Amino acid sequence: MLAFIPFSALVLAPLAGLSAPALFLLQLAALAVVPFVFAIGLLHGGFARTAPLEELGLWLGSVDDGRPPVRDALAAVLGDESLELYFPSGPDGRLLDAGGRDAVPERFGSTVSVDAAHGAVAVIAYDDALIADPWPVQQAGRVVALALERERLTVELLARRRELLESRSRLVQVADEERRRFAQDLHDLLQSRLVLATLRAGTLGAAPGLDAELRQDAEALREELTEAIRELRRLVHGVMPALLLERGLFAAAEDLLDRCPIPVEADWRGSSAELPAAVSTGAYLILAEATANAVKHSRASAITVRVERAGDTLLLDFADDGVGSAAPTGAGLRGVRDRVDVLEGHFELVSPPGGGTRLRVRLPCA
């Protein structure tokens, strides 16, 4: 317009023979077109939208404790609540979700990669029906690239922790299976041989015409074999109780507590049927260790136990009225805590001096 006004007055009017009123109307018409052209350009997206970037700038400038997570901030700014973040990890470039689990690329919608100096730090998956133009997603990703890099490192740590727990879980599972096999072999093979040897010793001792000294030796051998069978049964029970294999956790735990020299008040809720083997074995060993600690160290006069199966969770609540001061630093309780961690459960120990000991354990059993 700045060029057209003098051009129309100095060049166009003399050439076309326009009068002053006609020239004025021509210039006025040209000026009137400007707002319409501006509106058409705006409606066709000819101007970059900077409001999302300004909101993300405010988010970055806010206090850490008060600002929402990166994913929530991007979803709010871009207007897509289904937006998700995935993070590349490892040399193969596999993608992880916010929990450190492997993501499934086939489920993604439209995606935008957020790059930093050393490569991609995140992938933003969004609904292209809500965000037709990827440009604001790309710009928003660049604004929060540093925050995404920090979150990627956190996700990688979660993934490493998950892999470590899975590895430890496999080791515990192998150890428990070996324990079951060992107990089964002791019960089925060695105990059977000892029983047969005991019967044979008894038969030899009862043979007619046997010398008195030999009869006494045969009887002594039979008694020693009988005692060896009792010791073997105690050993097998300590390795893996037959009740645990045959009738489940509740029956084995009830038998364990019935043999405790301290009075025990037990409360069994729900059902231990179809519990995973690792959970059943872990829960039994946890109760056995807590009972052993109470008998050996707590000087308790009473024990209260509650075992409850509630949906996909198994709750163990063990309490005694002893001297307290128990700490998960010894081999026993440290092993209990490690087993709970492997099973991805929750471990809580409360043991004030003189106030007894209370152990609460929650184990997922889905």
**What is the pLDDT tens value at each position of the chain, 366 positions in all?**
888 888 888 888 888 888 888 888 888 898 898 888 888 877 776 555 556 666 666 666 665 555 668 888 888 888 888 888 888 887 777 888 888 888 875 566 788 888 877 778 888 898 888 888 888 888 888 888 878 888 888 888 888 877 777 777 677 777 767 777 776 767 666 777 878 888 888 887 778 877 788 878 888 888 888 888 787 777 766 666 777 777 888 888 888 888 889 999 999 988 877 788 888 888 988 998 899 888 888 888 999 999 999 888 999 999 999 998 888 777 788 888 888 888 888 999 999 998 899 999 999 987
The answer on 360 and 249 residing in a single domain is: yes
Half-sphere exposure of 353 (CA within 13 A, CB side): 0
* pLDDT tens-digit map of 285-313: 899 889 988 888 888 899 999 999 988 89
Rounded to two decimals, the pTM is: 0.53
The answer on 169 and 228 residing in a single domain is: yes
| The two three-digit tokens of residue 221, written as one number | 């051998």
Place of tokens 């184990």: 363
The answer on 355 and 255 residing in a single domain is: yes
The answer on 83 and 12 residing in a single domain is: no
In this structure, is residue 286 part of a structural domain? yes
3-class secondary structure, 208: coil
Of 239, 256, 285, the residue that ends a domain is: 239
The answer on 354 and 279 residing in a single domain is: yes
Number of domains in the chain: 4
The answer on 253 and 233 residing in a single domain is: no
The answer on 336 and 284 residing in a single domain is: yes
The answer on 27 and 88 residing in a single domain is: no
The answer on 299 and 359 residing in a single domain is: yes
- Domain holding 274: CATH number? 3.30.565.10
Q: Which long-range contacts (CB under 8 A, 24 or more apart) does 113-116 make?
A: 113/141, 114/141, 114/142, 114/144, 114/145, 114/148, 115/145, 116/145, 116/149
* pLDDT tens-digit map of 214-228: 878 888 888 888 888
| The two three-digit tokens of residue 303, written as one number | 């024990």
The answer on 218 and 141 residing in a single domain is: no
In this structure, is residue 208 part of a structural domain? yes
Of 205, 239, 273, the residue that ends a domain is: 239
The answer on 356 and 295 residing in a single domain is: yes
Are the C-beta atoms of 109 and 127 separated by less than 8 Å? yes
| Residue-range definition of the domain harbouring residue 325 | 245-364
Place of tokens 């496999």: 170
In this structure, is residue 141 part of a structural domain? yes
Are the C-beta atoms of 361 and 316 separated by less than 8 Å? yes
Alpha helix segments (H runs only) across 70-190: 70-78, 135-143, 145-185
- Tell me the β-bridge partners of 235: none
Of 159, 193, 226, the residue that ends a domain is: 159
In this structure, is residue 56 part of a structural domain? no
In this structure, is residue 117 part of a structural domain? yes
SS3 annotation, 292-320: HHHHHHHCCCCEEEEEEEECCEEEEEEEE
In this structure, is residue 53 part of a structural domain? no
In this structure, is residue 49 part of a structural domain? no
Are the C-beta atoms of 249 and 288 separated by less than 8 Å? no
The answer on 264 and 310 residing in a single domain is: yes
Q: Which amino acid is at 84?
A: E
